[in-house]
Amino acid sequence: MAATASDFARRADSWNAGSFDFNQYMVDRAKLVNKALDEAVPQKYPDTLYESMRYSLLAGGKRVRPALCLAACELIGGDVQAALPAACAMEMIHTMSLIHDDLPSMDNDDFRRGRPTNHKVYGEDIAILSGDALLTYAFEHIARATKGVSAERVLRVIMELGRATGAEGLVAGQVVDIQSEDKEVGLDVLKYIHLHKTAALLEASVVCGAIVGGADEATIEKLRKYSRNIGLAFQVVDDILDVTQTTEQLGKTAAKDLAVNKTTYPKLLGLEKSREVAEQLINEAIQQLDGFDKVKAAPLVALAKYIGYRQN
Amino acid sequence: MAATASDFARRADSWNAGSFDFNQYMVDRAKLVNKALDEAVPQKYPDTLYESMRYSLLAGGKRVRPALCLAACELIGGDVQAALPAACAMEMIHTMSLIHDDLPSMDNDDFRRGRPTNHKVYGEDIAILSGDALLTYAFEHIARATKGVSAERVLRVIMELGRATGAEGLVAGQVVDIQSEDKEVGLDVLKYIHLHKTAALLEASVVCGAIVGGADEATIEKLRKYSRNIGLAFQVVDDILDVTQTTEQLGKTAAKDLAVNKTTYPKLLGLEKSREVAEQLINEAIQQLDGFDKVKAAPLVALAKYIGYRQN
């Protein structure tokens, strides 16, 4: 039976129900992560470079990826401090990808997180270079700042993040995305784009948190399935929001997909069916958490619901 | 006493004298490195992305950075195979920096290593993304492919490479370089640019080879001094070649520095004095190798001389 829009809105409230206060949790986590990011990338010479890096890195995103990383680490019983460098690295990579994707030669976006995009403020050259610096620093920061975790596990985190970011991950997704503009593509290509451009880094966030926390292989694979599902759902919902929300609500240009004639889930499946797909993905994700302690799993359950039912 | 141009040319021959055949050594090392790079970045989907990465990565550079990395590892008595992933990573980073520096919004170069630059062939979007992918893969490859070396040492290699590449290394150098165009800058700024834009990665190449080889701290610091000197000399010589050689001889646009009114060593100090500076840097570099086995040190001595006296 198809979920209606009002079903959807009603369920959206459910992630804040019960004893776990998701809103407060996300506020606290964002504070923790923002402080760590601010310290990890302090203002230095060359001024413009660091200003540009900090402009985008500290622009007040929702910090979903760091939150997932920290929550996965805690689910396993790991120390949140040990996962903080990896959590920050996820946000550095995410920020880099936004800066580069927004460039005139790519998506050509002027507006991001409610502010002018990096290259509109600092110029294309500095935007490319600050993206490069953030990308580099993500790996260096994990290697340098992760404490209380074996060097073998830290290397594994670096491998996981590398695969998620490069030519097998989000860069590959962005390339296929660019090449699919103004073309009719099928669900397989659309899924490839979403799995690589978005899901890969959400997956790495969860899996790296679990690795830092000391998870065994079976647990890592369960959490990989969880994160791949929410990753795909994240992008399906992004497609939905692009056609249902305003630029003001999104903090970035709305109806952008339509404007550039991009293939999206709503375009291929319609809005209601797309919502069903997102819901099913989220439900399957949450099922992966069944065997875990309910209290410890609460943040990942809530994060999955948030991703499925968010309004921006 | 100032070195004359003919002194300089005569000395240039000396790096090929004696029992060590430097030309053959570099040919053999380039073969080894090219094979490893070809295997590390095979052609895959998305086709254009990998073609673009391989176009620039396998464009037949001199492989100076990998050669330095492997030679430093062998100097310490390390296994050349153990240092090969780090050596390849140096070339990946170097290639990424060339692709991004050549972009229209940066140095706007159409010509590199005797061929059209990456963005002229694949477009700016793919050029930016293949640079991102190479940058990412450098770190992943070190973490994934380095064998027979402790995880702690591998992490240290990643930190060293990260610092050399990012906002404290070559990205910083490129930013200050861009900001210094069409400006009168002094020797201190010029030295900052050269140390960061060029010397940092040459330093990382040598130091990472030494770390993989198992070098102690005192040895690492000696080799750091060696590599910083040859790194600075490399760029001083680059400045000299820009005004003395043709585009054909260089395989990239000649007299580019003059065309964009860039501050260079020849402009600040004159040609002869610049040659003296390069020679002194090379001599001081070679002095760092005094305490080592002469046969094992021969490649690093020859590489230093090559960098100081090369013609392109």
B46/A175 Cβ within 8 A: yes
- What stretches in chain A show pLDDT beneath 50? 1-10, 12-13, 15-17
pLDDT value for B18? 58
Cα–Cα distance between A44 and B221 in angstroms, integer?
25
Q: What is the pLDDT of residue A262?
A: 79
CA distance B89 to chain A (A): 13
Contact B155 A154 (CB under 8 A): yes
Of B126, B166, B179, the CB nearest to A48: B179
What are B172-225's pLDDT values in tens digits? 999 999 999 888 899 999 999 999 999 999 999 999 999 999 999 999 999 999
- A122–B contact, CB cutoff 8 A: no
User: Chain A partners of B152 at a C-beta cutoff of 8 Å?
Assistant: 151
Long-range contacts of A284-291 (CB under 8 A, 24+ apart): A284/A225, A284/A229, A285/A225, A285/A226, A285/A227, A285/A229, A285/A230, A285/A233, A286/A226, A288/A222, A288/A223, A288/A225, A288/A226, A288/A229, A289/A75, A289/A222, A289/A226, A291/A222
Task: State the CATH class of domain B5-309.
Answer: mainly alpha
Could you tell me if B106 and B177 are in contact, meaning their C-beta atoms sit under 8 angstroms apart? no
State whether A46 and B175 contact (CB < 8 Å): yes
Contact A103 B128 (CB under 8 A): yes
Which of B162, B96, B132, B152 lies closest to A137, judged by CA?
Answer: B162
Q: Which of residues 39-78 of A touch B (CB under 8 A)?
A: 41, 44-46, 48-50, 53
If you measure CA to CA, which chain B residue comes closest to A163? B140
B184 is written with which tokens?
């009168």
Give the residue from A140, A174, A212 with the most B CB atoms within 10 Å of its CB, the best one to mutate. Answer: A140
Cα B256 from chain centroid (whole Å) = 19
**Mind telling me how many Å the CA of A201 is from chain B's nearest CA?**
13
Q: Which residues of chain B have pLDDT under 70?
A: 1-18, 247-248, 250, 252, 254-255, 258-260
Tell me if A129 and B171 make a contact (CB, 8 A cut-off). Answer: yes
To the question of domain A21-309 being in CATH 1.10.600.10, the answer is yes
CB B129 within 8 A of CB A170: no
B280 touches chain A (CB under 8 A): no
**B158 with A136: Cβ contact below 8 A:** no
Contact B179 A46 (CB under 8 A): yes
**Among A126, A139, A171, beta carbon nearest to B139:** A139
A154 touches chain B (CB under 8 A): yes
**Minimal Cβ distance to A175: which of B100, B129, B163:** B129
Residue A4 confidence (pLDDT) = 44
Give the span between the Cα atoms of B5 and B10, in whole angstroms: 9
Residues 196-235 of chain A whose Cβ lies under 8 A from any Cβ of chain B: none
Instruction: Tell me which residue in A105, A155, A168 faces B143 most closely, judged by beta carbons.
Output: A155
Entry field: residues in chain A: 312
Residue B115 DSSP SS3? strand
List CB contacts (< 8 A) between B151 and chain A: 150-152, 154-155
